A and B are shown apart, each in its own frame.
Chain A
Amino acid sequence: MNTTRRTVLKSATAGSVLAGLIAAGALRPTQVLAAEWNKAAFDAHDTASALKGIGAGTPMDSKDLILKVPDIAENGAVVPVDVISNIPNTTSISILVDKNPSPLSASFDFANGALPEVSARLKMGQTSMVKAVAKADGKFYTAQKEVKVTVGGCGG
């Protein structure tokens, strides 16, 4: 990772999300998977820009999106998170942690019979809201829950 590329990507991200994506695509020839890693969204330092990065803008609250997290996480390095979407035609689910240095944790696209459900284990630096965002029929829905963290998992 060279510093010039970082600067280029940072300025591009600030300017427009699209430009950031193009820059990331142009400068990452080794990537083999179909979808380009969404650098703009994962590098965002606040939830609003991360949501913008995944194209969600301001998602609607939904009761059909179920987010299972512990109320209190004793160890912030491993926080189990389950997301289940009961919204019809859910095609993708993203997980965000508001107060992490980079809020966007993971984003999944589902196809060919995969149910819109995912479980993962996240790192959390401090007590924070955890948000799930689901995309269905081009619309975005969200659910959130607070997790209290007694020992942070991001520092060192």
Chain B
Amino acid sequence: MADPMKIRAQLKGDVAEIRVLMGHAMETGQRKDAAGKTIPPHFIQSLTVEVGGKKVVEGQVGTSVSRNPVFGFKVKGAKAGDKVVVSWVDNKGDKRTDEAAVA
């Protein structure tokens, strides 16, 4: 099971700045292990961000995003206390959803 995401959502005026850190190996499928065997690709493919029950960002991600990806988004019209829900799905079908509140 993947590590929980770290989600920070800070309100500046009426814009919520959301930063998400996802714990994920993001294997490209090009690296080799010590025995010279190719490590199979294992990476996040899709992510969604919801604020206050509305989907605000939908992303698709490839292998060239760094290990433990960090993404930042800005959402206008968010209010303090709005629930921020972030989900991802990787190429093996693993998924994870975490939430935080706009502060």
Contacts and interface: CB of A to CB of B under 8 A. Distances in A.
Q: Which of B15, B32, B59 gathers the greatest number of chain A CB atoms within 10 Å?
A: B59
A32 B97 CA distance: 12
A26 interface: no
A153 B46 CA distance: 22
A14 interface: no
A153 to B, nearest CB: 7
Contacts, number: 135
A60 interface: no
Contact of B74 (A32, A42, A117): A117
Contacts of B89: 31-33
A1 B40 contact: yes
A108 B57 CA distance: 7
B75 interface: yes
A104 B76 contact: no
A111 B63 contact: no
Contacts of A156: 30-32, 39
Contacts of A138: none
A30 B95 CA distance: 11
B67 to A, nearest CB: 7
A120 interface: yes
Contacts of A38: 60
B64 A102 contact: yes
A113 B65 contact: no
Contacts of B48: 33
Contacts of B39: 156
Interface string B57-97: 11111111111011111111110000000010101010100
B45 interface: yes
Contacts of A154: 28, 30, 64
16 contacts: A32-B89, A32-B95, A33-B58, A34-B58, A35-B58, A42-B63, A78-B67, A97-B64, A104-B62, A105-B61, A105-B65, A107-B61, A108-B60, A115-B76, A118-B73, A123-B26
Counting from the closest, the 4 A-B pairs by CB-CB distance are: A156-B31, A119-B72, A114-B56, A121-B66
